[in-house]
Structures are given as C-alpha cells and as structure tokens.
Amino acid sequence: MLSNRMATSVAALGLALIPALVRAQQQMPPVVVTAPAAGPQVPATAPDVERYALPQTRESIDQKKIESTVNIIDSEDSVKYLPSLLLRKRNYGDTQPTLATRMWGINSSARNLVYVDDMPISALVSNNNTNGAPRWGLVSPEEIKGADMLYGPFSAAYPGNSIGGVLLISTRMPEKLEATAKQTFAFQNFSYYQTSDTYMTSNSAATIGSRVGKLSFFLAVNRQESFSQPLSFITNATTPAGTTGAIGAQNKTGGSANVVGAGGLLHTIMDNYKLKVAVDVTDWLRASYTIGFWDNTADSSVQTYLKTANGSPTFGSVAGFASNTYKLGEQHLMNAVSLKTDTKGMWDWELIATRYDYLHSMQRTPAGVLAGGTSFTTNGLVARQDGSGWTTLDAKAIWRPTGPEGNHEVSFGGHHDHYTLNNPTYNSNNWLNTPDNGNGTLSTFGTGKTEAWALWAQDAWRFAPDWKLTLGGRMEWWRAYDGYNLSGTVGANQPVQQATSFSPKATLGWQIDPAWSTKFSFGQAYRNPTVAELYQIVSTGATFAIPNPNLVPESALSYEFSVERQDKNSRLRVSLFQEDTANALISQTSQVNGTFVTTFQNVAKIRNRGVELVGELKDVLFEGLSLSNSLTFVDSMILSNPGFVTPSNSPSVGMWVPYVPQWRYTAQVTYQANERLAMSLAGRYQGKMYSTLDNTDYVSGVQAAFDPSFVMDVKLRYQIVDAASFEAGIDNLTDSKYFLFHPFPGRTYLASLKLKL
C-alpha cells in the first residue's frame, strides 16, 4: 500500500488541476450550447452509444487523438490512457493483455467486456490473465476508428460481465477508394540481474477499401515480428549444489527465492487478416459480413546464470528452465454477420450473429531438465485448446413511441451465447517433434461448456426538458454442462450447474444548465462462472486434485454519482462509486480433505468504493496546448470470507481485495503546433497491488510481485505531405523497472512511416 507521503503527493498532483479549470472557466466568455444535453468533448465513436441511449459514464478516444498521442503497435495500446484503466501488456505481440477497470484487477478478464463493432472479443471461457485475455489480435491498429469505455453495469443491453465496464472499439468503413501502408520499428533496452540486451519489434500494416454504389469493403493486413524481454525470472529456494552464479533474492512473501536465470524470452510472429463487406440493401437496411484470421507462432527460450566449477553453463537441475521453454502455434478465426436498419422513424432493429473458433492451438513443453549441463528431457507435454471458442446471437429493436424527437426511446432484445473450453494435455515421447496428440495418452484434461439466454428492455424517458430517467432490466438463464476433468488415470464427470437471475438498472440524469450536469446510476449484475473457473484442474505439489465445481454466480450492486462541467475548452468530472459484491469468484487457498489447495471459490462479500476525477483543458496558455488528467482512488476491502484457510491461519477479512490498487493516476500534455505537427507527453501511475487474499505479499521488485509504478511516454507525429506521415516516440522514457508478476519492458524507442492514398 502507498506510504502517506506518496499518497498525498499523487492526490495533490491530481487535484492541482481543479483551480486551473475553475480559473479557465471564469475567464472564458459565455458559451451557447444548442444541444439538449452536453456530452463528452470527444464524441462517441461507437454507434451503439447514441443509438441505444446507453446511460453509463463514458470516456472516448478517436482515431485522430490515437495518432497524435499514442505509440500504437498493438490494437490494445489505443486505450491505455483512458481514465481508471490499466492495460496489462507485457510485450509487443503479447497474447495475454488483460484490462483492469476501476474496481477489478488485471486477473478479472471476465468482469469486463470488449467488443469490436458488434463482435465480442472477450474470451469468456476463462477469468484470468492468460487464456482469458481479449483476443486483441483480431483487430488491426490501422482499422481502428476510435474506442468508448463505458463504466459499470448500468445498461440492460449488456450481461453481468459488464460489472467492470464495456469497451466498444469501432472500426472504419470507407466512402471512397483509400489505401494505407505503414511500417513501424521499435527497440527496447533492457537490463535486470544478469540479463542485458536490446529487443526488436517490426510491424508492417496495410489497408485498402472503397465504396462502389451500394457495396463497400475494407481489407486490413498486419504482420508483426517481435523479441521480448524476459517475461519471468527463474528462481530456486537454494543455490543448486556445485554451481555458482545464483543471485540471492526473496519471493513476494519474503521467502528465499534465489534468481538462477531468465525465462520467457519470446520470439513471436503474428499475422492478422481482416475483411469487412457491407451492402446497402435499401436506403435504410444494411447487411454486413466480417471475417478475421489470426495466426501466431512463438518460441520461448531461457538464459541460465548458473555455472559449474569449471565455468560451463548449467541448469542446475532447476525445473523452472523447462517450464519456461516452449513452442506455441495458434490460428483463430472470427466471423460475424449483421442486418441493421436506420429508418430515422419510430422503429429500428438489428440481428447480429458471431462465431469465434480456435482452429489450432498447441503448446509443446519439455517435461524437465537433465542433470548437469543445459539440456532438456526428450519427453514432454503437448497442451491444446483447439475446439475452444464461442458463438453469440443478438436480436435488438428500438421503439420511439412519440417519434424520433420524442421523450421516450424504448430498446429491447434477446441474447444467446455458447462458450466451449477444450483443453487436453498429452504426454509426448519427443516434445520437439511430436504429433498433435503426443503419444496418445493424456496427462490432464479439462473441458466443459456454458450457455446463456437473456431478455432485456430499457426505456430512456425524458420526462422534463432537463431530466432523463433510464430504467431497464435484464433476465438471464445460464447453465454449465458437459464438464469433465482427468488427471492421470482418474477422471470425473462434473455436475450440471444452472442459475436464473434478474438485474434491474436505473439512471437519473439532470442537465442543470448548458454547462453543468449530474447523474446517479444504480445497477445490479450477476456474473456467471466461466468454464475454466468451474472445471480447472488444481495442482497440489506433485499431484492433481479435481475441484468441486459448485460455484455460484457472483452478484454485484453498483452505484455511481457524478457531477460534470463542460464548455468549449474545458471539462471536469467527479464520480463517486461503490460496488458491493456477494459470492465474488476469486482464486484462493482452502482445505480439501485435509489438504491445502488453491482454486476458485466464492468469497462471501467484498466492497469497493472510491472517487474518480477527470479533467481536460484545451488551448491552455496558447492555442494548441491541451492538458488531460485523471485520478482514481479506491477503498477496497474483504468483508466476509469464511472459506479461506491457510497453513499459517492468516486472516483475509479486512484485507485489500487482490489486484486492486489504491491509486491510479494518468496525465497527458499534448501540443498541436499546426495541422502537421503534434507532440505529446504522458505519465501513468499505478499503486501497489496485493495478489494474496491475506495481503502477505509485501516484497516488491521480485518475480510475481505487483509493484507500484510510474511510466512516462512521449510521442511526436509529423504530417510530411498529405500522403505521408512520420511518427516517433519513447515508451517508458525514464526506464522505470517494475513487476506486475512479470518484469515489464524497459525504455523503448519507436519510429514509423505511413503512406496514404
């Protein structure tokens, strides 16, 4: 947790903008606003935000701001400066970048939703920071039109996974012939322990699109090759006998964990192909089809610090060198079709169907290391996830009973989703050259399915000129089935789980005057367990235990009160929020038949509450200079957890909820010198996080710790001519060193050239 001095300094830095905002507002001439309600300074980029009158607090970023202020190589980079968000991105080409929101941490991938246009890319097969991360690779950075972050579960249009929020990424469709080509290079200087090297990334992207009569299309192609810094440091409780080179260190809880090497040195090649086609069937009906293909190959290598008496490198029989060595191959396919109307009359409707398939997913790993030297065993494991994926189907409608400009807008719809996890791990006689099913025998196997049906309705009612009440409700029917676990020769069919829930929503907004507005929101949400939470296999030492899959949905009561002032050149918003969660699904230690194991359990009650401050100033001191700032404070606490047991009997009640920091802070200064030149400096602060329910992980700066960090980035963009632009930047300008379980990148230099037809 932050020291009082650090907390006070960060708070003062964030609050320092308030007097400046007030002075700027007092000195400005009156602004005439003709719209019925003031909105965010950056308009929504996702059509659904306005189309369905979504009531949540929203922060947006458009394509122009992304280009001017963000060093973007991967699509997820586009949102890293939005208020209260933390993007856990370990390296360029990372397949595991999760998104943390105001009150939920980076291991809570199933507690927020990410959509690209109408397609969900959230991998709700899991709730973790590995295979639960959104499938960002199906989005090319060059196709992004913008992104909108909707905070909290306050709209009936979204399922309970919206507890943390909903991110809507919008992509472009051309109105005339256009084509782009962009080449980006990046290199990182990294030095930690005995690892010191430069790691390169190359990204090549191209797009082409056009509109011919009623037909429009857009094709995006992206190829990236990257080399990462170590994603882990390999540790051992002791220095292996007969070796030198180990570095004395602790683990996150203060135990002995000598550093003996580096692992997870990834070489990744990632290809992304995306085609969108749209046909205007009539002047009010559009049919669209999207297909995306993502191919990823990665090799993970290790570096040992250990040497024998004669100076030869050795693994010292440490098994961690084997588990950090693997070869990975993945191919994913996404399809989506939609029919949408835009009548501008009393009725509109849409039908959307999506399918996401893990066509191929195989990771090969050696079973261990050989005694002496730096060799691996020939035998190993082959883990697969092909056959996993999801389908969704949505039918939505809008009814405007008093006309397009009337005081009622009723939206309603039905939803169905189906998620499948298929995760066999085969034994292999030769891990480097093995068939897809190894030697045909299973080491472990976890599989299962979930599906949900839902009906929802919502009415945005402007009952007075300056007042709007949005009322909604969502009914969901959920079940998990076909669950099966195998460990060695012991298998178990898991029971079917079912749940029915109703989630009420309400938001009351008041436009006090053209500049000031306020809003109060309430929402209940039920977040159902994912397949992996229900049917994961738990390791206890050298054995495996089959978990009890009797998890129940977690229930969250969320509240937010916000006040916002906005005019032509400034914006200030203060939001107070609270969430009370019952049966929160969190990985924790408990006793099973007298043995301590770690698995997902329902934590009886937790509470998160806090305040978010967001400020923007345009044309500060002189034209073109803009400031933006966000500060988030969260008071997070475990209130009841009777199922938690540890060998030391340490308590969890009264402790900080895992992966939730007390403070987050983001500040950005942008100077648009003219139409061609833009410069930006950004800083991001993240407070200390705990990863244990009893908050016993107090050691920072070591493998598996979750450190406080402050990272600064700088960006320059120059439009050379209308058809060519140049970008250069530095991420982690001060070369800050920190861990979020993994060691994160050091100072990284980027440069790119973009040509446009």
pLDDT, tens digit, 9 for 90 and up, residues 81-126: 999 999 999 999 899 999 999 989 888 999 999 999 989 999 999 9
Q: Which domains does the chain have, with CATH numbers?
A: 4-756 (2.40.170.20)
Output the CA torsion 76→81→82→85 (10° steps).
70
CA dist list (Å): 420 to 55, 123, 490: 32, 10, 22
pLDDT of residue 594: 56
Output the furthest CA–CA distance in the chain (Å, rounded).
87
The size of the chain, in residues, is: 757
Q: What is the pTM of this model?
A: 0.91
In this prediction, residues 160-174 reach a mean pLDDT of 94
Other CB atoms within a 10 A radius of the CB of residue 146 amount to 22
The pLDDT-based confidence of 14 (bands split at 50, 70, 90) is very low
Residues 6+ apart with CB under 8 A from 619: 569, 625, 626
Q: Rounded to the nearest 5°, which phi and psi values hold at 464? A: -150, 160
Percent of the chain with pLDDT over 90: 79
The pLDDT-based confidence of 595 (bands split at 50, 70, 90) is low
Spatial separation of the C-alpha atoms in residues 531 and 383, rounded to whole Å: 17
Output the CA torsion 690→693→696→701 (10° steps).
-20
Q: Rounded to the nearest 5°, which phi and psi values hold at 68? A: -85, -25
Q: Show the tokens assigned to 32.
A: 């005439």
pLDDT, tens digit, 9 for 90 and up, residues 244-289: 999 999 999 899 999 999 999 999 999 999 999 999 999 999 999 9
The pLDDT-based confidence of 28 (bands split at 50, 70, 90) is very low
When comparing pLDDT for 126 and 21, which is higher?
126
Per DSSP, which regions of 152-284 are E strands?
A: 165-171, 178-192, 195-212, 215-227, 232-236, 258-280
Helix (H) or strand (E) holding 366: strand 347-366
pLDDT of residue 626: 95
pLDDT of residue 632: 97
Other CB atoms within a 10 A radius of the CB of residue 401 amount to 12
pLDDT at 718 exceeding the cut of 60: yes
In this prediction, residues 401-428 reach a mean pLDDT of 94
Q: Are 709 and 743 in contact (CB under 8 A)?
A: no
Q: Which of 278, 141, 148 is nearest to 218 (CA)?
A: 278
Q: For the chain, what is the mean pLDDT?
A: 89
Q: Which of 95, 93, 80, 86 is nearest to 130 (CA)?
A: 95
Residues 6+ apart with CB under 8 A from 221: 140, 205, 206, 207, 271, 272, 273, 274
Residue 649 gets the label, from left (phi > 0), alpha (psi -120 to 50) or beta, of left
Spatial separation of the C-alpha atoms in residues 164 and 624, rounded to whole Å: 34
> Worst-scoring range by mean pLDDT, 78-87, 451-460, 589-598, 643-652?
589-598
In this prediction, residues 498-514 reach a mean pLDDT of 97
Q: Are 520 and 561 in contact (CB under 8 A)?
A: yes
> Worst-scoring range by mean pLDDT, 215-229, 473-487, 547-561?
547-561
pLDDT at 209 exceeding the cut of 60: yes
Q: Are 106 and 659 in contact (CB under 8 A)?
A: yes
Strands 497-511 and 490-493, how do they pair?
unpaired
Per DSSP, which regions of 568-594 are E strands?
A: 570-592
Q: Are 423 and 435 in contact (CB under 8 A)?
A: no
Measured between its terminal Cα atoms, the distance across the chain in Å is 52
pLDDT of residue 628: 94
pLDDT, tens digit, 9 for 90 and up, residues 37-90: 333 345 677 788 888 889 999 999 999 999 999 999 999 999 999 999 999 999
In this prediction, residues 670-683 reach a mean pLDDT of 95
Spatial separation of the C-alpha atoms in residues 688 and 3, rounded to whole Å: 10
pLDDT of residue 548: 60
Spatial separation of the C-alpha atoms in residues 746 and 665, rounded to whole Å: 20
Among 42-56, 692-706, 718-732, the range with the most confident prediction by mean pLDDT is 718-732
Output the CA torsion 240→243→246→250 (10° steps).
20
When comparing pLDDT for 650 and 307, which is higher?
307
Q: Are 221 and 140 in contact (CB under 8 A)?
A: yes
Among 396-400, 487-491, 619-623, the range with the most confident prediction by mean pLDDT is 396-400
Q: Identify the three-state secondary structure at position 174.
A: coil
Residues 6+ apart with CB under 8 A from 143: 171, 172, 207, 218, 220, 274
